[in-house]
Amino acid sequence: MVLDSSEPDHMDSKEQDFDNKTWLGSYRKVCNAFPLMTVGGVSEHQRATTSDKRVFILTRSAFAGQQRYGATSWSGDVQSSWNTLRKQISGGLNLSLCAIPYWNSDIGGFFAGRWQGIRTLVSRNYTCVGFNLGRSAR
């Protein structure tokens, strides 16, 4: 199951919005736990539906403890650049240190901007290399 955008979207936010009260405290205090509650609810309801299948959830957002629900994360919508790919390594290591063992990068990137001419060739090469690196890491 894929849960894209499993984080709270708060468009046009103002600083004081983060102090809004919720049942568990301020929005600032609880907003990062939203992905944990989301994957927990999906996992528990899937298990209640059938015990014949293993629950596996791919989600764009992560929070400590989500691995108990069979959830894994990917880096989300990132730029198609070598610099971004380089930063993905530390992102994956940080999640591993948080005891979230399964993680994947958006290998080819999502945002490419206006790629024309030689830039298209570079972008395709980047994507090809990224997929090959991802495949060989298995």
Which contacts (CB < 8 Å, 24+ apart) does range 125-129 have?
A: 126/80, 126/81, 126/82, 126/85, 127/80
Distance CA 53, CA 89 (A): 32
Catalytic residue among 15, 52, 77, 106: 77
17 is annotated as an active-site residue: no
7 is annotated as an active-site residue: yes
Catalytic residue among 4, 17, 19, 44: 4
Q: What is the CB neighbour count within 10 angstroms for residue 70?
A: 17
77 is annotated as an active-site residue: yes
The residues assigned a catalytic role are 4, 7, 77
